[in-house]
Amino acid sequence: MISARQAADLGVTHDGIRRQLSAGRLVRLHEGIYLTGNMRPGAASRWWAALLASGDGAVLSHWNAAKVYGFTRRRPGAIVHVSIPASRVEVAASGVRVHRSRLLPAKATVHDGLPITTAADTVLGLVAQMRSPHDVVALLTDACRSKAVTAGVILKTVGRRKRQSHRQLIKDVLADVIGGVESLLEHKYLVRVERPHGLPRGRVRARPPSATDMLTSKSRAGRLFEVATVLWDRGWTGELTSCGPRCRAVNSPQREGSPAL
């Protein structure tokens, strides 16, 4: 990825850029922004092109930033969202939505080399655009479950903001997240069933180990023995013949004639 200004700094003239475009060695993504090579631009290339086209201080934001942090499965779509300081006036390039923010550059960071809004500010920026409390709860629980940001960090960031949509809802949901809620469904159960009816607090059951989990132990004999133990607990009636004295000690007469592992 290269801009016309960067190319000029390297001594490449406008005529040189035109020749590279004609030869297919450069692909124009925006006015003055080029992708080197003739490959089809991927998401990262489009993001960088949008940032370069938006000028100094631009950072990736909103759903595109959420995708980078990994707390949404939603596809950001063809439009790339970037934010710039409110003091700047910028005409958005084609395919780029520019948001002016008075919180920049304070809410800017770098993630995997990409200029981007912080995870907490990304969450709060998206919440500000939402009308449905259902969507707010889903975003907050997804973001915290992703481990890209914690409920505590989001609460601190809310506290530093003078204006924030759904402020009280954010605080209430994050308090529940700190208390153990991890999903929209769990939050619905908490506020619609558990609290109104005075039920005891639900507990998350630990997942029982699978046979695959057991295969992580060190020796072959130990692995077979531990796998069989799990299978017996789940109703298997077979017999072990390949893991030494421990297997012979636990093989019961009731398992004689059953298939061996």
Question: Where do the structural domains in the chain lie, given as residue ranges?
Answer: 1-40, 42-117, 124-194, 211-255
Residue 21 pLDDT greater than 90, yes or no: no
**CB-based contact 98:82 (threshold 8 Å):** yes
* pLDDT the model gives residue 256: 47
Q: How far is CA 150 from CA 140, 146, 157, 177, 225, in A?
A: 10, 9, 11, 9, 40
Write the burial class of residue 251 (CB in 10 Å: 0-12 exposed, 13-18 middle, 19+ buried): middle
Instruction: Quickly state the pLDDT bin for 17 (edges 50, 70, 90).
Output: confident
Q: How far is CA 105 from CA 92, 200, 227, in A?
A: 19, 46, 55
Residue that is written with structure tokens 């390949």 in the block: 242
- Tens of pLDDT, residue by residue over 53-92, are 888 899 999 999 999 999 987 776 789 999 999 998 777 7
Q: What totals of helices (H) and strands (E) does the chain contain, helices first? A: 12, 8
- Tens of pLDDT, residue by residue over 95-116, are 899 999 999 999 999 998 999 9
Nearest-10 crossing angle of helices 167-178, 151-160: 160
At 246, list the tokens. 């421990």
Cα–Cα distance between 103 and 16 in angstroms, integer? Answer: 40
